[in-house]
């Protein structure tokens, strides 16, 4: 790293964030929070193109630019082509070669006891939550600006244990270790890498069980210091905050955003 390197992006243009799985839920909230803070967005979706277009429209209504690209994070064979699409979009929309922030958010849940988890379920969790972010980040590294940021999404379940979450939480534990290694290895480029670990959030994740099951919702609220389950904006706001210039010295950290769940 040369002597003038900093932990801020190396240009003064509008920052650009790439957020996986941003057509709904936490990814959508993150995209909108960042747009309100003056950040343009490349968002990915897996299958629901209309939802993705809706998020693009909301971002544009906030005065920012946005592009939606299709991506299946479970299929690493498609990452080369996806990186090519990102490069093309940067050139066509922004006349740029790099983006600033990568948020590895896309994912699905699994509720299966350790004894009953199948190898296929385990492989699916690994491909989506560990192998996918590992190799997608690797493929996108040439497109991330020096002084940029990476945020990986983990879970409170990597700190506390609840039955039925062994495979999912195992992958997220791996993501937390990967975060520290990325922070170490990418430091020479001034790229800070951190983990945000949400608690239970009322979304359609896991079939909407936290949002739609009153008994579970109340049970989680009773075990949370702030007395309720989380909302998407609780997480989107935290990620947006972490990516602000004033937080440039936060690196290699796991930040739990759970309202004080199980403390």
Active site residues per annotation: 168
Residues 158, 156: Cα–Cα separation, whole Å: 5
Residues in the chain: 263
User: CB of 105 within 8 A of CB of 27?
Assistant: yes
Residues 161, 174: Cα–Cα separation, whole Å: 15
Beta bridge partners of 254: 195
* DSSP state letters, 18-31: EETT-SSHHHHHHH
Cβ–Cβ contacts within 10 Å for residue 99, how many? Answer: 24
Residues 158, 152: Cα–Cα separation, whole Å: 13
Beta bridge partners of 101: 17, 149
């Amino acid at each position: 790293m040369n002597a003038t390197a900093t932990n801020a992006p190396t240009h003064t243009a509008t920052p650009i964030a790439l957020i996986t799985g941003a057509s709904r839920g936490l990814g959508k909230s993150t995209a909108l929070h960042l747009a309100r803070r003056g950040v343009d967005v490349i968002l990915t979706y897996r299958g629901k193109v209309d939802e993705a277009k809706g998020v693009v429209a909301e971002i544009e209504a906030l005065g920012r630019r946005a592009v939606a690209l299709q991506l299946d994070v479970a299929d690493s064979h498609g990452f080369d082509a996806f990186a090519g699409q990102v490069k093309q979009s940067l050139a066509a929309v922004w006349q740029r070669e790099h983006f600033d922030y990568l948020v590895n958010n896309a994912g699905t849940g699994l509720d299966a006891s350790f004894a009953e988890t199948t190898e296929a379920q385990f492989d699916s969790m690994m491909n989506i939550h560990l192998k996918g972010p590992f190799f997608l980040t690797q493929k996108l590294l040439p497109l991330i600006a020096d002084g940029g940021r990476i945020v990986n999404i983990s879970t409170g379940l990597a700190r506390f244990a609840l039955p039925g979450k062994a495979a999912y939480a195992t992958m997220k534990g791996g993501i937390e270790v990967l975060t520290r290694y990325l922070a170490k290895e990418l430091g020479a480029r001034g790229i800070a890498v951190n983990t945000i670990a949400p608690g239970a959030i009322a979304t359609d994740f896991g079939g909407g069980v936290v949002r739609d099951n009153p008994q579970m919702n109340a049970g989680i609220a009773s075990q949370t210091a702030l007395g309720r389950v989380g909302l998407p904006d609780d997480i989107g706001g935290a990620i947006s905050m972490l990516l602000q210039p004033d937080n440039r010295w936060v690196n290699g950290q796991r930040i739990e955003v759970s309202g004080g769940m199980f403390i």
